[in-house]
Structure 1
Amino acid sequence: MTDVMWTAPDPAEAPVNRKHPREQVAELLDTRELARGGTGDRATAAQHAKGKLTARERIELLLDDGTFTEVEQLRRHRATGFGLEDKRPYTDGVVTGWGEVHGRLVFVYAHDFRIFGGALGEAHAQKIHKIMDMAIRAGAPLVSLNDGAGARIQEGVSALAGYGGIFSRNTRASGVIPQISVMLGPCAGGAAYSPALTDFVFMVRGTSQMFITGPDVIHTVTGERVTQNGLGGADVHASVSGVAHFVYDDEQTCLEEVRYLLSMLPLNNRELPPAAPTSDSPDRLCEALLDLVPSDSNRPYDMRAVIEELADEGEYLEVHEHWAHNVLCVLARLDGQVVGFVASQPQWLAGVLDIPASEKAAGFVQFCDSFNIPLVTLLDVPGFLPGVDQEHGGIIRHGAKLLYAYCNATVPRISVVLRKAYGGAYIVMDSRSIGSDLAYAWPTNEIAVMGAEGAVDVVARREIAAADHPETTRARKIREYRDELMHPYYAAERGLVDDVIDPRETRSVLISSLRMLCRKHADLPQRKHGNPPI
């Protein structure tokens, strides 16, 4: 073995750093300040002139004060050519990091429209990939604050590959951590698919738009003329397409509502939603319910008033408030515990199920099941909406989405029939036959294949036609059908309803039932995944 002698390095060859550590720290602070400042006051003023906040201002509104930790603040692109070689701003147009909302961990990335219009390039995408990976590993919600002009043309296919990485991570995180997209500016082309893959989309009127092809392209191809807001504005996606779950008039209100939503969600799919203290007694009687719901099954009423009576302090958050009005999807609390309400809305189309309503409720049921939120279904449904448009539009397939979502859900499930529940819509809306843990009904309930009038016209058609007084015979048959097959206790006698309850006790019954079901454990068959009717 040969001895190895150590020799000191020649001082003349050793690198010498003549800067004192204090100078190095000062230089670092200056660089970070430059990174935080973006492209300067003019760009910030231009952003404010559009009624929009900067990326950092938005993050400050979203997160608890002083909790934001930024990552890769000094990242810059490495592209050269097409004018980018002299433009290498820090952050590369996206601010990423983590912080807290109501004291709980949340990850966030925010496009900075002041830099390259928020367009996505290779470095920009890699920053987003990193923060998404961190959120998945940490098991905490991810909020994206979107305000970008799409892919960075100067970086070519690298930018497109960056979007692919985001989409795959959105899919991998689906059902694992809550994902919330907040649209605060334009979102065009392939960029719009990332928000569509997330759990909730928030939009701001006047400043945010989403579309695959813009107005100019549409005019060139089809000859149609439309504005950006008319094509993909907040109200369009909130009330027509159903892409947006929430819509607000300004960014401050929007971000405050994001905070409120996060306060009701678990950090990940392995946790329960956070409980909140409440002064609302679990045994409170809801006297108003006796007058809110008319006994006449043809008279409309607002189901929101029923939910308000049931929920703690009457507070709730409605999802898709402006789309598919005939069904309500609501997050609320009962005795401090988060619950998802799916409810018929008799005030709109008598509460029938149609294509949009089926899709809306199916998505909500699936989300609640993913994140351990118990489901309470309030029924007052006359059936599915008849019509050629509905049948040709695929009501069978779309209605099956809601059926699949309920049948696949393993969270605690309770259904309450307030008034009528007819036909296939009764089955689909979490009946006992598809797995509801507990089914209750009010004394005003009518559970049947169809309404008495329609049923008699089918089963007693010949007898009525042959009678001396057809109208009298028809009226008698309707009374007989109601007395024999639609009385409030018919379903309970056959075990399809667990109890007929006093409407005033609905809140206390739901709370006691959910307490019993809180330890529910249900296993699905072993499989890679199901094949829902998409």
Structure 2
Amino acid sequence: MGGEEAVRKHHEKGKLTARERLDLLIEKGTFVEVGMLGSEFGVAELQPADGVITGYGKMNDGVTLRDVAVAAYDFTVRGGSMGITNERKVSRIREIALKQRIPMIWLGDSGGARVSGGGLSGDMIPMFADSGYLFKEESLMSGVIPLVAAMLGPGYAGTAYIPGLSDFVPMVKGTSFMGLGGPSLVKMVIKETLTEDELGGSKVHCEISGCGDLEVKSDEECIKAIKDYLSFFPQNCDQKPLRKSWDGDPEALIADGILSVIPDSPREAFDMHELIRYIVDDRHFFEIKPRWARNIIVGFGRLAGYPVGFIANNPMFYGGVIDIDAADKAARFIWLCDAFNIPLLFLSDVPGFMVGSKAEKSGIIRHGAKMIHAVAEATVPKFTLIVRKSYGAGYYAMCGRSFDPDLLIAYPGAEIAVMGPEGMVSIFARKQLAEAENPQEMVEHLADEIRPQFDIQKTARYGIVDEVIDPRETRKVLIRALEFTKDKKIFRHPRKHGVYPV
């Protein structure tokens, strides 16, 4: 650590030190530190661990005791900045994580690249030409081992790309920051005066940019979130996630309360979170990016102890339509689950993709194709439940029949169609609507008249839907499907990779 005064100032900001964070993350007596004696060459005063603590140990995630590799930046020593020795240590622990095929965790609290040692002369400028390995190495680790970058303090420039390349990025409210340039640089370059929080705080990245995955209130809550998140994952891409001990009845029906979650009127919104909580074990759902692109919900839950990734439209926001941010959010989550062998459950209540000039100018076709690409590529078990409606290309993106779901089920009254009744009326009854005194009332009246033609039972008779189920049977049906498909294997035509529409 950087001395009593530095630690005192650190605590005054409501932050734990790097070693205190490690004590919460790693089981006592299991941490093996790598490079503890590292320091900066040519500097007279001691630089403890050169501003970063690296090593590996055992973490209890509530399901198992697992090995993890950690790099904890120490802001009390040179602001946790990235010097030559500092980065050499982090590179070493990345190498260990990849060789041992264990999750890599960064505890971010760093001022970014260290420039104070060399100033504008010496070795600092030419040495930059030999930097950047962390970006390449972390990119190549992606999809091989889980990558977690928790932001418990600042992350400038290079240390902002660490979370940018990671799978899961929790951010502590009030103390965390991510930005390619800090307020001083921004003011100098583009004359914009902002605080750190306004520029790249947790609210910015967890609600607006989508770069943050979860806003938490404290360092302690952040460490807990890391453990909870990793509990759904295997150690690496060659393993399956562990099933949590569960002693419930797989044949048990869900309580009657689930029947009141979905409104009788197809035009009335409801919160999909409530349906998810009825489906998952113990009503526990670990949501990713809950404050960004809220028209789609992604996160993890368990069914009979089995980890499952959920993708669900949320009618409470924009009617559940898939816009650019929703497509990005879903695609990335699908790729994440598929990389680590986590089954996917799609809960579809989608009116389609966003339309209009703003959406087209922003690239909705390209971004929508990204989600479709992800669903098509996924080889893990895929289950689709049509909760209420699934229209147009939204049906495809939510893993419709042509995307090979291992199970496609629906609730009574669900609808699958190229568009909703209202959309069809607006196209095919244009003359009547033009002459109507109240066109909106006419649309609703005619839509209600043709709605019986959308009956899901008709779709089921064609063999497109596997089963129409009572909502109370949801868990039972899905648990059976999970058990049946747990050894699923799909072999694709060999290729380097797809050409992603990003």
Q: TM-score range by the shorter chain?
A: over 0.9
1:16 is matched with none
Q: CA deviation at 1:427?
A: 1.2
2:55 is matched with 97
Is 1:294 aligned to residue 263 of structure 2?
yes
Contact 1:300 1:350 in 2 (8 A): yes
Aligned counterparts, 1:317-466, within 5 A: 317-462=286-431
1:273 is matched with 241
Q: Deviations over 1:329-351 (max 9, x none)?
A: 02010000100010011111111
1:220 is matched with 188
1:62 is matched with 25
2:278 is matched with 309
Say which of 228, 231, 240 aligns to 1:260: 228
| Alpha-carbon distance in 2 for matches of 1:295, 1:472 | 19
SS in 2 for 1:44: helix
1:87 is matched with 45
Contact 1:344 1:351 in 2 (8 A): yes
Q: Deviations over 1:441-500 (max 9, x none)?
A: 11120111111122023134357779999999977854553233x112122122221111
SS in 2 for 1:390: helix
- Amino acid aligned to 2:390: A
Structure 1 window deviating more from structure 2 (368-377 vs 65-74): it is 65-74
Contact 1:135 1:141 in 2 (8 A): yes
Is 1:499 aligned to residue 480 of structure 2?
no
SS in 2 for 1:218: helix
Say which of 81, 89, 110 aligns to 1:127: 89
| Alpha-carbon distance in 2 for matches of 1:532, 1:266 | 26
- Amino acid aligned to 1:107: A
Is 1:43 aligned to residue 12 of structure 2?
no
SS in 2 for 1:510: helix
- Amino acid aligned to 2:381: P
Q: CA deviation at 1:77?
A: 2.5
The 1:148–1:463 alpha-carbon spacing in structure 2 relative to 1, beyond 3 Å, is closer
SS in 1 for 2:20: helix
The 1:255–1:162 alpha-carbon spacing in structure 2 relative to 1, beyond 3 Å, is farther
Q: Give 5+ residue unaligned stretches, structure 1.
A: 1-37
The 1:77–1:296 alpha-carbon spacing in structure 2 relative to 1, beyond 3 Å, is same
Aligned counterparts, 1:71-220, within 5 A: 71-78=34-41, 80=42, 84=43, 86-102=44-60, 103-153=65-115, 154-155=117-118, 156-157=124-125, 160=128, 164-220=132-188
Q: Deviations over 1:110-152 (max 9, x none)?
A: 1111111111111111110110010001010010011111111
Contact 1:125 1:159 in 2 (8 A): no
| Alpha-carbon distance in 1 for matches of 2:498, 2:226 | 31
Contact 2:296 2:320 in 1 (8 A): yes
| Alpha-carbon distance in 2 for matches of 1:416, 1:245 | 25
1:522 is matched with 490
SS in 1 for 2:493: coil
Q: Taking structure 2 as the reference length, what is the TM-score of the superposition?
A: 0.93
1:9 is matched with none
2:121 is matched with none
| Alpha-carbon distance in 2 for matches of 1:223, 1:142 | 38
Contact 1:163 1:191 in 2 (8 A): no
Structure 1 window deviating more from structure 2 (449-458 vs 518-527): it is 449-458
SS in 1 for 2:70: strand
| Alpha-carbon distance in 2 for matches of 1:414, 1:161 | 49
- Amino acid aligned to 2:500: P
| Alpha-carbon distance in 1 for matches of 2:333, 2:285 | 15
Contact 1:150 1:188 in 2 (8 A): yes
- Amino acid aligned to 2:358: D
The 1:90–1:495 alpha-carbon spacing in structure 2 relative to 1, beyond 3 Å, is same
Aligned residue pairs, count: 491
SS in 2 for 1:64: coil
SS in 2 for 1:132: helix
- Amino acid aligned to 2:378: A
| Alpha-carbon distance in 2 for matches of 1:500, 1:341 | 20
Contact 2:170 2:225 in 1 (8 A): no
Q: Give 5+ residue unaligned stretches, structure 2.
A: 119-123
Contact 1:70 1:96 in 2 (8 A): yes
Q: Deviations over 1:277-310 (max 9, x none)?
A: 1233222212222111112111111111111111
Q: Taking structure 1 as the reference length, what is the TM-score of the superposition?
A: 0.88
SS in 1 for 2:164: helix
Structure 1 window deviating more from structure 2 (162-171 vs 494-503): it is 162-171
- Amino acid aligned to 1:101: M
Q: CA deviation at 1:223?
A: 3.0
The 1:41–1:443 alpha-carbon spacing in structure 2 relative to 1, beyond 3 Å, is same
CA RMSD of aligned residues (A): 2.1
| Alpha-carbon distance in 1 for matches of 2:412, 2:11 | 57
| Alpha-carbon distance in 2 for matches of 1:474, 1:234 | 44
Contact 1:122 1:158 in 2 (8 A): no
- Amino acid aligned to 1:60: D
Q: CA deviation at 1:265?
A: 1.1
| Alpha-carbon distance in 1 for matches of 2:183, 2:47 | 31
Contact 2:48 2:77 in 1 (8 A): no
